[in-house]
A and B are shown apart, each in its own frame.
Chain A
Amino acid sequence: MKRIDKFNSIWKENWLTGIRLIPKLAKWGQSEKGIVLDLGCGESPFRYLFPLAKYYIRIDRNAVDEKVVIADITRIPLNDESVDAVLLFQVLGDIPEPKSFLKEVSRILKPEGRMIIFESMCYPEHDMPHDYYRLMPSGIDYLSMKVGFQCTEITRLGGLFTRFAMLWNKFIMGKIKNFPVICWLAHIGIFLANIICYSLDQVFLHPNLAENYIARFVKRT
């Protein structure tokens, strides 16, 4: 199963994130016509949202397929001012020194180049020992400003119940999925949680408890 299905299907655990994230990202993706660099790409689940990109370069620590460039993302093997847009999808939290990493990103970006960030605010610890921070919107704003970026937009996605659904889907339903006979129960549980939590978040939106945020920065000239 592809990773993007988890964001697109209502029976899957990341649907609540996807429904808010994908329209936003698709709008931003339409305007990226140059060289797009996906840092810490993994399977690059959102690649199809950047259809007009001239080149789509993927760099990660370890490769999932043959098109990934294996490199240390804190020392990017690219020339100065060579890239039009950098995508950082759930990467910043896994880096011990986010500020020097953002400086490196700023080095390879052309002037007026865009940096698109999608980051979780409360994701459980994962990939130990490569998990360091959860950067809050003001944190990323501060750090980017320090290394020469200008914030154009930060949008928080979801609210209290999205957070609840994430916990519910990942832990309880994730445990049930491991048992062969009752694994179908997990799909129903996820489906119900998705629908109920989505509608509750429409009524009771709690922006301070947002689960994720998406941000776009422009490199100052």
Chain B
Amino acid sequence: MQLLSNIKSYFENIYLRKLDYASGREFTEDYLKRANPGTTFLDAGCGQGNIRDLLPEDVRYIGIDFFEGDNCEGYQGWQHRPDIVADLHCLPLRDSSCDTLVLLHVLEHLHSPQKAISELARVMKPGARLYIAVPFLHQLHHQPNDYYRFARYSLEHLFKSVGLTTVSIRPTGGYFRSLAHILGRFIPLYKSKKWFIQLLLFPLVMWILFLRWTISSFEYPLDLLDNKQELTCGYLCIASKTIANNVNA
């Protein structure tokens, strides 16, 4: 029985750690923790702005997006509207006005990322932090507005070129998570085929699904083997504007 419970706790542990590291829970908690009452929280490229519900009442939340919801395919049925409809390359906000900025899965859709980051740096208060999540391996989406994938050095280069300090750049997952991610894309593709092709290829599909299931259940311990993490699903990065930078400017 002892053994059984040990095994059980091991799997629970794996599961929890996995969730933690895949969804970037730490990352989310980090920026939510910074949103103290009375501060300004800028959600650039907010979409329907789900972060709004997670924040305390007295935080000033500003959601900016280029799309309003109805004017673009795939955006219908939004619960919230963005507060400001604007292009992120040209923010309609005053200098040094925001305390916490998030840019989640948006940077790859901007045609001039450097300009957008410099705009965000402009509206940051000294000591403010910018949280960015970008995909690396993700498929093309929201075409034709899908321009870049960023590697580690490009993010560092971007921050340095606009005078921000890199706090951390963390890959989300390594080789095995990427493998599971790619195989997971197969399921909608299979469903879109005609029924006789589906039937014909069913045994093969079972193998692919089995492979995907195995890899994705063990992706956390497996990714510990991949210590370099040169191939990853994405990056979570934090940059800050130091007070010294502001003095120089």
Contacts and interface: CB of A to CB of B under 8 A. Distances in A.
Contacts of A136: 108, 140, 146-149
Nearest to A134: B149
A180 interface: no
20 contacts: A122-B136, A122-B137, A124-B230, A124-B231, A131-B151, A131-B152, A132-B150, A132-B151, A132-B154, A134-B149, A136-B149, A138-B146, A160-B186, A163-B182, A164-B182, A171-B231, A203-B201, A206-B139, A206-B189, A208-B140
A80 interface: no
A68 interface: no
Interface in B192-207: 193, 197, 201
Interface string B168-199: 00000001001100110110011001000100
Given A96-B157, A132-B154, A134-B151, A167 B146 contact: no
A167 B149 contact: no
A160 B190 CA distance: 12
B179 A164 contact: yes
B111 interface: yes
B182 A209 contact: yes
A107 to B, nearest CB: 21
A133 interface: yes
A137 B146 CA distance: 8
Nearest to B228: A125
Contact of A208 (B139, B151, B152, B157): B139
A133 B189 contact: no
Contacts of B175: 167, 171
Nearest to B189: A204
A128 interface: yes
B154 A208 contact: no
Interface string B129-156: 0000000110111011111111111100
B141 A208 contact: yes
A121 interface: yes
B143 to A, nearest CB: 7
A124 B230 CA distance: 5
Contacts of B152: 125, 128, 131
B171 to A, nearest CB: 9
Interface of A: 93, 96, 121-122, 124-126, 128-139, 141-142, 160, 163-164, 167, 171, 203-204, 206-210
B139 A135 contact: no
Nearest to A126: B230
B205 to A, nearest CB: 10
A124 B140 CA distance: 17
A153 to B, nearest CB: 16
Nearest to B111: A142
A167 B183 CA distance: 11
A134 B178 CA distance: 16
Contacts of B182: 160, 163-164, 167, 209
A171 B229 CA distance: 12
A203 B197 contact: yes
A137 B152 CA distance: 20
Residue with the highest number of chain A CB atoms closer than 10 Å, among B141, B185, B201: B185
Given A133-B154, A209-B182, A138 B144 contact: yes
Given A125-B230, A134-B149, 14 more contacts: A96-B153, A131-B152, A132-B154, A134-B151, A135-B147, A138-B147, A141-B144, A142-B147, A160-B185, A204-B186, A206-B186, A206-B189, A209-B139, A210-B140
Contacts of A171: 175, 231
Given A133-B148, A164-B183, A167-B182, A138 B143 contact: yes
B164 to A, nearest CB: 16
B139 A132 contact: no
A139 B147 contact: yes
Nearest to A163: B182
Nearest to B157: A96
Nearest to A156: B140
Contacts of A139: 111, 146-148
B242 to A, nearest CB: 22
A138 B108 CA distance: 11
Nearest to B141: A208
Contacts of A133: 148-151, 154
Contacts of B140: 121, 136-137, 207-210
